[in-house]
Amino acid sequence: MPYRSLRSFLERLERAGELVRVTEPVDPVLEMAALADRAAKQEGPALLFENPQAAAGSTPSSRAILPVAMNLFGTLRRTAWALSCEDLEEPAAELRALLHMAPPVSFWEKLMMLPKLGKLASYTPRHVGDGPVREIVDREPDLRSLPVLTTWPHDGGPFITLPQVVTRDPETGLRNVGMYRLQILGPRQLAMHWQLHKTATAHFRGYRKRGERMPVAIALGGDPALTYSASAPLPPGIDEYLFAGFLRKEGVPLVKCLTNDLEIPAEADIVIEGFVDPAAPLVREGPFGDHTGYYSLADDYPVLEVTCITRRGDAVYPATVVGPPPMEDLWLGKATERLFLPLLQTVFPEVVDMSFPAEGVFHNLCFVSIRKEFPGHAKKLMHGLWGSGQMANTKTLVVFDEDVDVQDHSQCAWRAFANVDARRDLVVVEGPVDVLDHAAPAFALGAKMGVDATRKWAEEGGREWPEPCVHPPDLLARMDALYQRLVPQAPPPRRPKIGPPPAASWSPRKGAA
């Protein structure tokens, strides 16, 4: 059963002992973020702040302060629950099966075909006349009525951090839903931090070219699958609410906005409607303590003029704090890693697995294992990945053979340091990089590094290549049992999981079989 509201997800977490209600007054200015940071770092529970204590003077006293939910996605298990499954491998396997059913077309074409494939048609968004998000309508809105957090001391102000920002391509009419933070600048003004390479920025450029106002709607809460989908790197033209429908196994019910013609989830907790005037001057946005663990610098972004805020009577305001890893967004990234692996494998069938370590804050580091089939294969894959959607922003790509478990980051470090010759195995390319990369010499433009950490074949200049040291499994099992008898309190064995050696590299100097 999909969640009908954020509250129904919270109830599930509470039943499972994964929710803590915070009844003490806690300030949305810094205090909530510090507490949620502590919880996120320890894979602690979700937090429901029932008594947000408004920062002095920031909230009109006549308006209700809503409860705030944080650290909703703070563990792998909760993230799976948020996506209506027990294990992220379930929807990943389903995607893999669907993609195999489809005729052999390109990766993105396959994704486009999903709604046409059998039962997936029932996952497309449904249009409904009304919904709980309309229970309270405020046509004289004041953003300060929301308990919006200031998360780090040098932030430029309060930021909405878990939004679903709905826009539409003015040419094709296709919807996009993106997660872009939004800074409150005044009672009815939000700075829109959609970055240069993101879909909403392309839409903004389209409206500017046409000289038209850009309608925008921001949904908060509802089924957490909607929130996750806004963060998923789907290509332009693929509807995030369709993807959410696939995850929750039911089409997302949508209602029309009251003051523009976009559609928003009928079961969302809160919706902010408005328009961006592309002719209006840009506004200063930031600084903001970002997911890189550093402050992103202030820069110029478009401004949204808010026309209306609607919400449920029992709305909960969802928020996250990003910052030095690991943080809650690690698990949103993990969901993307698991769900997009089958999609990537349709284009790059040699990919066995991939992993984005927390320390790499998603775009700074990616480990990939491959079934290597020819000399230079790792380097070919690097270029392919850098040419695939948001993977273009991956600053460091390390490619391993299939016997390396890329989920074991300690093993990856050991193998990479051992297998790499700096002159032969590093690739440096130039191109677009993440907007938040403060090390890049120019804004959003810089260098990326590929590391070929595979065994080097003779054709690649490899000499005789040794195998890693591994005991036979039956001997290991016997000695583990003996050790357990000798040291009964011993924790489970800690040793790297090393797969069988890749066949092609087995005969030294011979290269591919």
Ligand X SMILES: Cc1cc2nc3c(=O)[nH]c(=O)nc-3n(C[C@H](O)[C@H](O)[C@H](O)COP(=O)(O)O)c2cc1C
Residue numbers of the site for ligand X (CB under 6 A)? 161, 176, 178-181, 193-195, 198-200, 231-233, 320, 322, 329, 332, 390
Q: Three-state DSSP class for 72?
A: coil
Q: Which CB, 306 or 335, lies closer to ligand X?
A: 335
Q: Is the dihedral of CA 11, 16, 17, 18 positive or negative?
A: negative
Q: Which CB, 310 or 394, lies closer to ligand X?
A: 394
Concatenating the DSSP letter of every residue in 263-330 gives EEETT-SEEEEEEE-TTSPPEEE--EE-TTSSEEPPEEE-EEEEEEEEE-TT--EE-----SSS-THH
- Give me the phi and psi of 477, to 5 degrees please: -60, -45
Q: Which CB, 28 or 502, lies closer to ligand X?
A: 28
> Residue 95 contacts by C-beta under 8 Å, 6 or more apart in sequence?
246, 339, 342, 343
CA dihedral 72, 77, 83, 86 (to 10 degrees): -150
Q: Which CB, 194 or 204, lies closer to ligand X?
A: 194
The one catalytic residue among 155, 290, 329, 401: 290
Q: Three-state DSSP class for 366?
A: strand
| Inter-residue contact 306 to 260 (CB < 8 Å) | no
**Cα–Cα distance, 456 to 465 (Å, whole number):** 7
Q: Which CB, 4 or 208, lies closer to ligand X?
A: 208
Q: Which residue has the tokens 């993230």?
A: 79
> Residue 197 contacts by C-beta under 8 Å, 6 or more apart in sequence?
390, 392, 393, 432, 435, 444
Q: First-to-last CA distance in the chain?
A: 51
Q: Which CB, 164 or 346, lies closer to ligand X?
A: 164
Q: Which CB, 131 or 325, lies closer to ligand X?
A: 325
**Cα–Cα distance, 268 to 265 (Å, whole number):** 5
Q: Which CB, 145 or 320, lies closer to ligand X?
A: 320
CB of 154 to ligand X, least distance (A): 17
In the chain, what is the greatest distance between 2 CA atoms, to the nearest angstrom?
A: 79
- Residue 183 tokens read as 């800074």
**Cα–Cα distance, 115 to 124 (Å, whole number):** 7
- Residue 256 tokens read as 């029309």
Q: What is the DSSP letter of 376?
A: T
CB of 229 to ligand X, least distance (A): 9
| Inter-residue contact 158 to 183 (CB < 8 Å) | yes
| Inter-residue contact 274 to 264 (CB < 8 Å) | no
| Inter-residue contact 7 to 66 (CB < 8 Å) | no
CB of 253 to ligand X, least distance (A): 21
Q: Which CB, 49 or 331, lies closer to ligand X?
A: 331
Which residue type sits at 10? L
Please say if 290 is a catalytic residue: yes
Catalytic residue numbers, as ranges: 290
